[in-house]
């Protein structure tokens, strides 16, 4: 059997690492999807705060969630949304720690906004929550997901 040289072994390891990074980066999807998701969260929160008794406001949010869920879970929909690779949920860690870590930022934003609203009697709290959650989804959400995908690979 022919053993590889140290240079060949190092090149093979770099190729494996590069392949993993390509899969992780392509699983993130396109940037516009994150921006639209953040805008939807903000607009929904603002609409429910400004028009509290309108029952029809929930339907556009439900439709958007269904379209995104179906689009991201099918090959055709993923391609149309610019997401060529989907990381299987079976490959993700299912421990309680990782599940809580995925939702921790949104929960922290909700707790912080609720605390400020309660302590300082600030009106229109849902708008503030929508703005903070929308900005998180637009700018920090992709980076946090990328960090989680890379981090769980090390465990």
Tens-place pLDDT, residues 66-118? 887 777 777 777 777 766 666 555 555 556 776 677 778 888 888 988 898 88
CA 143, 149, 154, 155 dihedral sign is: positive
Question: How many angstroms separate the most distant Cα atoms in the chain?
Answer: 75
Cα–Cα distance measured from residue 95 to residue 119, given in angstroms and rounded to the nearest whole number: 35
pTM of the model: 0.71
- Are 130 and 46 contacting, i.e. CB atoms less than 8 angstroms apart? yes
> Could you tell me the pLDDT band of residue 33, with boundaries at 50, 70 and 90?
confident
Q: Quote the pLDDT of residue 46.
A: 92
Q: How does the average pLDDT of the chain come out, rounded?
A: 79
Cα–Cα distance measured from residue 27 to residue 21, given in angstroms and rounded to the nearest whole number: 10
Q: How many CA atoms lie within 13 A of 1 on its CB side?
A: 2
């Amino acid at each position: 059997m022919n053993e590889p040289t140290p240079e060949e072994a190092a090149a093979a390891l770099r190729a494996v690492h590069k392949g993993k990074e390509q899969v992780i980066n392509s699983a993130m999807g396109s940037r516009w999807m994150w921006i639209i998701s953040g805008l939807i969260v903000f607009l929904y929160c603002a609409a429910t705060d400004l028009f509290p008794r309108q029952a029809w406001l929930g339907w556009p949010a439900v439709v958007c969630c269904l379209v995104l869920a179906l689009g991201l879970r099918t090959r055709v929909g993923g391609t149309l949304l610019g997401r060529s690779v989907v990381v299987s949920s079976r490959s993700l860690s299912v421990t309680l720690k990782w599940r809580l870590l995925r939702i921790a930022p949104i929960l922290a934003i909700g707790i912080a906004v609720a605390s400020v609203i309660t302590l300082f009697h600030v009106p229109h709290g849902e708008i503030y929550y929508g703005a903070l959650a929308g900005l998180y989804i637009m700018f920090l959400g992709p980076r946090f997901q990328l960090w989680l995908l890379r981090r769980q690979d090390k465990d």
